[in-house]
Structure 1
Amino acid sequence: MAASTHMASVKKGIGIETISIVWMVIEAGVAIGSGVIAHALSLVAFGADSIIELIAGFVLLWRLSVEMRSTDLERVRRAEKASSWVVGIALLLLAVYIVIASIYKLVTHQGAETSFTGIGLSIAAGLIMPYLSRAKKRIGSEIGSKALRADGACSIVCAYMAWTVLGGVVLTALLGWWWIDSLAALALVYFVVKEGLETIQEARGVEDACGCGCHDD
């Protein structure tokens, strides 16, 4: 890839991360706020995921800014490694939170409570996050940033969680399946842990650490 084309892709990466950060601020605030008001643990968990993605987004924005300003490839590699560590750890923290929150809800027999604000947010996130995920993975491939690709994986997990929250509310309201959103959330744990461990392996310098997710663009 020509240097000018590469820098253009880096600039696109900065743009998509900026959009992602703005959305994550909105998503975290609305999800946690409406979750607390409605006593809906699934919405609070959704907001926690947004905060983790927000942290990862700021680190990725820093990593891309380093590459945009510097021709020092070693500095870029160090920024990439730091970004990979943060994104990988964020994914594992998200998995832990999903497990704890889901088990708590199952033990205490708590179902998803109806929140019209939460429903609207879930629909919006379910539509927006897949677009952001595809863009991050595509740009990450263009500039050779596995950290940016991993952040794309974070975004698609956010979309899955959005539809899980929405599906749980609807099924609970229609069929009384109070447990459905907890089980659906637990089903995401394998994907989240797998992506998180692969990203940490990349940060540690393990060759070919990335599994099938690196070939899906």
Structure 2
Amino acid sequence: MATAQAGLHTTSVRKGVNIEIVSIIWMVIEAVVAIGSGIVAHSIALTAFGADSIIELVAGGVLLWRLTIEARGASLARVKRAEKRSSWVVGIALLLLAVYIVVESLVKLFTHQGTETSFTGIGLAIASGIIMPYLSRTKKRIGSEIGSKALRSDGSCSMVCAYMSWILLAGVILTALLGWWWIDAIAALALVYYVVKEGWEAVQEARGKEDACGCGCCHD
């Protein structure tokens, strides 16, 4: 019985490794497309979305390493230390990203800087809005199977990314259809809540708070 349970656990861990690999590949694509399109279209929302993807990529890389060595049967002591360091880095980076979004958005609003239409951004937001909820559900399910709070937290981060993509999509579509120069700055400011929440709870986790999770919404 114990052997069978251990086998199922190992299988689930390997599934966790695979889903993290898929997630990392998508984060790379998302970051490159979002930042590139954001720079071309002078869009704060798109650029910030891409920057958040890079931050999630770093966190996903650490978690992938953690799952990989667990799959190989190695000790998790050093992984826990790495996760704590990663939480500090990710949390601080997210909070700095929030400051950037606020400052740049206010500058655009006061100077009436417009944003060019980005159909690439629209396509990216649609794709992310579809893909990220699937990744979120899968990570949470596997995290529950293997008892990994980190993987469940990462699933919540994926859902936050989905929320951000829906907000981004609304802003980009309104800019494309109605030409509202100010909507990109407003859409970018709407992302601040999610970025600050994710960043603060990553810092809390790094400080060793028992109820903190990477994104604050992983209580099952």
TM-score using structure 2 length? 0.82
Summarize the alignment of residues 1-217 of structure 1 with structure 2, pairs less than 5 Å apart. Answer: 2-210=5-213, 213-215=217-219, 217=220
Partner amino acid, structure 2, of 1:85: W
Unaligned stretches of 5+ residues in structure 2: none
| Distance in 1, Cα, partners of 2:136 & 2:198 | 14
Cα-to-partner distance string for 1:132-191 (whole Å, 9 max, x where unaligned): 122223323333333323322332232223222221122233344332332233233233
Conservation of the 8 A alpha-carbon contact between 2:28 and 2:57: yes
Higher mean C-alpha displacement, 27-36 vs 98-107: 98-107
Cα gap change, 1:188 to 1:176, in 2 (>3 Å): same
Q: 1:41 to 1:10 in 2, by over 3 A?
A: same
Q: 1:64-115 CA deviation, whole Å, 9 max, x = no partner? A: 1122223424344334434443443444344334323322332332344212
Superposed CA deviations along residues 34-72 of structure 1, whole A, max 9, x for unmatched, are 222333332222221221121111111111112222342
Paired positions, count: 216
In 1: Cα distance, 2:95 partner to 2:139 partner: 20
Structure-2 separation of matches of 1:18 and 1:166: 25
- Give, in angstroms, the shift of residue 131 of structure 1: 1.3
Mapped to 2, the partners of 1:137 and 1:157 lie a distance apart of: 13
Structure 1 residue identity aligned to 2:168? V
Q: Report the 3-state secondary structure (helix = DSSP H, G, I; strand = E; otherwise coil) of the residue aligned with 1:214.
A: coil
List per-residue Cα deviations over 1:193-212 (Å, max 9, x = no partner): 22332232223222223596
Report SS of the residue matched to 1:107. Answer: helix
Question: Once superposed, which parts of structure 1, at least 4 consecutive aligned residues long, lie more than 4 Å away?
Answer: none
Tell me, yes or no, if the aligned pair for 2:121 and 2:172 is still in contact at 8 Å.
no
Other structure's SS at 1:188 match: helix
How well do the aligned residues superpose, as a CA RMSD in angstroms? 2.6
Contact between 2:30 and 2:124, CA under 8 Å: does it hold in 1? yes
Structure 1: any 5+ residue segments left out of the alignment?
A: none
